[in-house]
Structure 1
Amino acid sequence: MKDMNGYYDFSGQKFGYPLSLSINGFSQNVFTRQSSLELSYVLCGEYEAVTEQFSTIVHKEELILIAPYEMHLLRKRCGKDDGKILTIHIDFDRMPESMTGEVKGQFYSGVFNSQKNPSVYFPLKRKIGELVKMLMDGQSNLLRLNVLMAELVCFSARENISLEELPLQSEYQENYLKAIKYIDEHFKEPLTLQDVADQLSFSLSYTSKLLKKYMGIPFSKYLSYVRVRASLEALLEGKEQIEQIALECGMPNGKAYTKTFRELYGILPSAYRRQFRQNLKYSKDEEGRVMQLDEEQKSLLFHLVEGNRQMVYEDAKLVIWKEQEKFCCQVKEMWRDVTVAANGKIEVFFEET
C-alpha cells in the first residue's frame, strides 16, 4: 500500500505560478497528459517509463523529460517498491503565448544520464539542485525563481532525440495506446469496456486481455484510477466537497471516490488535501517558505544540493566538475588536441568552425 511518507509538494500553480515541484514515493499507474513540461529525477529505486514513442527503465540519478501533451506513465518497476522521485512541472498554459510561442514540437521526451547525454544531463541536474536549494533555504526571490525556470526550459529544449533511436512499439503496444487515449478523452462519460472495443473495432475479449496485459489491472479499476487522478487539482483547490468532486470526475458517488483514492494513494482524500495545505503555509513575516523535509528526503537530496558546489566550469564546448576528490571533464564538441603543462594546467584545442 502506498502512503504519504516521503511526500512533499511545492505548487506554485496554486498561486497562478507555472512551476511546481514534488517529492514522493507514489507509483503513477495511470497514464496522464498535461500542458506542462515534466522533468522527473529518480532519487532512489527504479521506474518504468512508458510514452507514446517508447518504454524504458529509468534508474537512480537518471532524468526523464516528458514533452508537453505527451501521453505517459511513470511507475515503480515491478518488485522495486523503494522508489522516490522528484518531479518538476512547468505549465505553459499559465504563461502568456508571447513568452513561449508554439510549445508543441519544441521538446522531445527521453531519458538522460551522465553517460549518454552529459551536455544536457549535467546542466539540468545542476539547475534542479539550485531550485531545491533555493526552496530549502526559504528564499523568496521571484526573479531568481523565474531565471531558474527559464533555464530549465532552455536546457530541456536543447536535445532533439531522433525517433529512429527509440525502441519501436509493437502492434499490440500501439493498440494498447489507442485504447488508453480513448479512455483519457472520455473518462468523464459512463464509459464501458464495450465502448472502447467498439470505438477501436476490437473484440471485447481482445480489448480486455490487451488492457489487462499492459496495465496489470482490470478495465474498471483503471478507469476509476484515471478519474481520481484527474480530480486532484479540484481536490487541492479546496473549493468543492468530496461528493461534488467525485461526480464531476465521473465517479458514481463520494464513497466510491474515497475508496479508490485510498487504494491509489494510501490515504483519504481529506487527509491528502490537509497535507497539501500544510506544505503551502508561509511564515507570518512573509519570508520565503522553507521546504519541510524529513531526514530521508534531506539525505536523498544531499547530492543534488552539494553537487552544485562541485561544478568547476561549463560553456558550450566543455564542462568540468569535481567528483569524489577527482576532476572530471566532458568535451561536448570535436577537439583537435589536448596538452598538459608542467604545472598541471590542461589545454583543450577545438576544431575551428
Structure 2
Amino acid sequence: MTDIFYETITPNRHLPFRLLIHDNGVAHRVLSHWHHSFEIAYVITGENTNFTVNGQHFDQSKGEVVVINPYEVHRLDLPTDHKRVALTVMLPNDILTASNIAIETHIQNRIPNDTQLQGYFNTLYQTTRHPATTGTQAEQIGLVYLILSDLVTHYSQADATKRTPHYSAQMDHLSPVITWIDRHYQEKITVEKLAGIANLSASYFAHLFQKYLNQSPLVYVTSRRLLAAEKQLLTTSDSLEAIAFTTGFPNVKALNVAFKHHFSQSPNQYRLTHQ
C-alpha cells in the first residue's frame, strides 16, 4: 500500500463537526488515509462503490451506514453516478471528549438496515436543503449527537479494542511526523530528518513507520507528493516542470516514473483522461 496519508478533521463553520454532501454525481477519488477520529458515511440514493476499509472492499448501498473508526485506513473510488446522494460526517475528538466516548471505542464498520439511523440521516440531509440559520444548525448538531449515541449504544464492539490503546499510542507517536510531511513535502526529506522530528533513532523510526503504516517513510513522502501532483494536474495548466518543482520531485523524469508506477499512466495521459 503506497498511498496512505493522515487527514486532519476541520469542522464546518458554526458546527462542531464536518458535514459533507455528495450529490453532484461526478467521479471522485479519495486516496487511502486515516485520522484520529470517527468518520460516518451514509447513502441516501445510489451507491458508494469501491469502498475499502482496512483492506476490505465493498459497495455501500442505499440506506447503509459505514463507520470508519480512528486509525482505520480507508479509501473510496467513485465513478460518475448522477443518482448518488450521500453524506459524510467527520467527528473531531472534541465531540468524543464532550460525550465521554473513549477514542478506543470500536464501532461496527457496516450497518445495513437500521431504520432509526436511516431516519436521522435522512432528516439531516433535509436540513442541508434549508437556509443555514441558527435553528437549522442546532437541529444538525442534535441529529449528529443522536446518531453517535445510537452507534455507541448498539454497535460498539468492546472485544475488538484490545489492541487499540497500544496501536493508537504508536500512531500518536507518528502523527507529528505525518503532519510535518504534509506541510513540507516540497522540501528535500530524509529518514534521519523525520526520525529527529519523532525523537527516535532512524532505524527504530523506520521500523515503526513500516509496521504501523505498511510502507517506508520515503515511500509515504513520495505518495504525498503524488497526491499534490495529481491535484495540480487536474486543477491547473501548469507545466510538468513547474509541478515537479512545487511538489518536491527533483526533476520531470522522477515525477514521470513515480506517477506512472502509481497511476499506471504518465502525468500527461492522466491529465487528458481525467480533466
Name the structure 1 match of 2:54.
48
- Structure 1 residue 27: Cα displacement: 8.4
CA contact (8 A) 2:42 2:87 kept: no
Q: CA RMSD in A?
A: 4.9
The aligned amino acid for 2:264 is G
Task: Give the Cα separation in 2 of the matches to 1:204 and 1:88.
Answer: 46
CA contact (8 A) 2:40 2:67 kept: yes
CA contact (8 A) 2:234 2:274 kept: yes
Residue number among 256, 261, 264 corresponding to 1:263 in the alignment:
261
Aligned residues, how many?
213
Name the structure 2 match of 1:147.
129
- Structure 1 residue 112: Cα displacement: 5.4
CA contact (8 A) 2:176 2:197 kept: no
Flag structure 1 segments of 5+ consecutive residues without an equivalent. 3-17, 50-56, 76-82, 92-102, 129-143, 278-353
Cα 1:123–1:261, aligned 2, differ >3 Å: closer, same or farther?
farther
- Structure 1 residue 122: Cα displacement: 6.5
1:28 aligns with 2:26: no
CA contact (8 A) 1:231 1:249 kept: yes
- Structure 1 residue 217: Cα displacement: 2.5
- Structure 1 residue 186: Cα displacement: 2.4
Question: What's the secondary structure of 2:54's corresponding residue?
Answer: strand
Task: Give the Cα separation in 2 of the matches to 1:266 and 1:63.
Answer: 32
Greater share of helix: 2
Flag structure 2 segments of 5+ consecutive residues without an equivalent. 3-20, 97-102
Task: Give the Cα separation in 2 of the matches to 1:27 and 1:243.
Answer: 25
Q: Decide which structure has the larger Cα Rg and report it.
A: 1
Name the structure 2 match of 1:301.
none
Cα 1:27–1:147, aligned 2, differ >3 Å: closer, same or farther?
closer
Question: What's the secondary structure of 2:31's corresponding residue?
Answer: coil
Output aligned runs, 1:34-183, within 5 Å. Answer: 39=41, 42-43=48-49, 46-48=52-54, 59-61=58-60, 63-64=65-66, 73-75=73-75, 85=78, 111=109, 113-115=111-113, 118-121=115-118, 124=121, 147=129, 154=140, 157=144, 159-160=147-148, 167=161, 168-170=164-166, 171-183=169-181
Cα 1:63–1:267, aligned 2, differ >3 Å: closer, same or farther?
farther
Cα 1:272–1:201, aligned 2, differ >3 Å: closer, same or farther?
same
The aligned amino acid for 1:212 is Q
Task: Give the Cα separation in 2 of the matches to 1:48 and 1:118.
Answer: 26
Cα 1:231–1:73, aligned 2, differ >3 Å: closer, same or farther?
farther
Q: Given the two structures, how large is their TM-score scaled by the length of structure 1? A: 0.45
Question: What's the secondary structure of 1:43's corresponding residue?
Answer: strand
Cα 1:88–1:199, aligned 2, differ >3 Å: closer, same or farther?
farther
Question: What's the secondary structure of 1:196's corresponding residue?
Answer: helix
Residue number among 227, 232, 236 corresponding to 2:234 in the alignment:
236
Identity across matched positions, percent: 16
Name the structure 1 match of 2:206.
208
Question: What's the secondary structure of 1:251's corresponding residue?
Answer: coil
